[in-house]
């Protein structure tokens, strides 16, 4: 019998109303939202009733997604569905860190709130946008990006998909070059050039916050976006570096599979990671926990793993 991995999603799939029915249906979820509201009043209101524009603001997106993802994980845990190992995409790594017990829930939420604030400040100081490039190998995407001022490959997502971050003044020409090379660039619903040198300032300031944070050994293997390997002891260093470094998602998922994972459960409001994982290795199962809001199917499916 293979292992189950919980993978916590990043920005992009958030939507107005996320978590409302989950909180109304499951006391475990309601408790998570209540705890987040105590530290950041209005978090659940933003999730349940905030506008899409409000949720696009990084300082709001990150705490809201963290709350929703920890609520989903709490419901699964209460129902007897537990992960053998875990990881998260970008901000999802802080949720994974918390789920794995490397920090207390209140600490994890405080970290993600500060992370979102710092990344938004950096995004406003250095306007940039992001796009997912498909139908081209990563080497070709890197070659095209190198021909433009301040355009960087930042997320190595799956075979044939690499996200880039770039100055807004360069992105239109970059996207045209991608099309000419036979690829396609799809704009992402984020405001900022994340996981790139645009985030150097946020990374440095977050390092100061992390330096004052107490970490514990995780109860299950926790994988880093920066190294694609399980964490050792340098939690603060890797979490600070992650903000300005590429996410090595394809390599990370392959490493998890090599460790015996045959079922991935995406913890978040969408199915983006499920799609990436299915393209990385179609032989593994990829399930989306967002289905908990509508049905018990995900519980039944995971319990048969």
Cβ 246 vs Cβ 128: under 8 Å: no
Among 44, 90, 158, 163, the active-site one is: 90
| 191 vs 123: CA distance, rounded Å | 7
Name the catalytic one among 195, 196, 203, 224. Answer: 195
> Does the annotation count 195 as an active-site position?
yes
C-alpha torsion angle, residues 223, 244, 210, 101 (rounded to 10): -20
| Angstrom distance (rounded) from CA 264 to CA 117 | 30
Known catalytic residue at 224: no
Residue 236, CA distances (Å) to 23, 203, 210, 247 in order: 32, 11, 5, 17
| Angle separating helix axes 200-210 and 235-242, nearest 10 degrees | 160
User: What single string gives the DSSP state of each residue in 40-99?
Assistant: STTHHHHHHH--HHHHHSHHHHHHHHHHHHHHHHHHHHHTT---SEEEESTTHHHHHHHH
| Active-site residue set | 90, 195
């Amino acid at each position: 019998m293979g292992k189950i991995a919980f993978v916590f999603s990043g920005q992009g799939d958030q939507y107005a109303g996320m978590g409302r029915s989950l909180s109304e249906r499951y006391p475990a979820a309601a408790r998570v939202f209540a705890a987040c509201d105590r530290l950041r009043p209005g978090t659940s209101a933003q999730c349940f009733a905030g506008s899409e524009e409000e949720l696009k603001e990084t300082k709001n997106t990150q705490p809201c997604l963290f709350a929703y993802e920890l609520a989903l994980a709490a419901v699964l845990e209460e129902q007897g569905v537990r992960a053998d190992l875990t990881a998260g995409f970008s901000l999802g790594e802080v949720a994974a860190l918390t789920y794995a017990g490397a920090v207390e829930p209140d600490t994890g939420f405080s970290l993600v709130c500060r992370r979102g604030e710092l990344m938004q400040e950096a995004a406003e100081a250095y306007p940039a946008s992001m796009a997912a490039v498909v139908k081209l190998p990563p080497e070709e995407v890197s070659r095209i990006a190198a021909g433009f001022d301040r355009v960087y490959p930042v997320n190595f997502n799956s075979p044939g998909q690499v996200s880039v971050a770039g100055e807004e003044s360069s992105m239109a020409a970059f996207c045209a070059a991608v099309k000419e090379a036979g690829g396609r660039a799809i704009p992402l619903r984020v405001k900022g050039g994340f996981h790139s040198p645009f985030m150097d300032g946020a990374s440095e300031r977050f390092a100061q916050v992390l330096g004052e944070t107490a970490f514990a050994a995780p109860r299950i293997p926790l994988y880093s976006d920066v190294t694609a390997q399980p964490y050792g002891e340098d939690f603060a260093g890797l979490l600070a570096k992650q903000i300005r470094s590429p996410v090595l998602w394809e390599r990370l998922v392959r490493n998890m599979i090599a460790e015996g994972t045959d079922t991935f459960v995406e913890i978040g409001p969408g199915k983006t990671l499920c799609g990436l994982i299915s393209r990385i290795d179609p032989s593994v199962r990829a399930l989306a926990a967002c289905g908990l809001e509508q049905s018990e199917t995900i519980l039944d499916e995971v319990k048969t793993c």
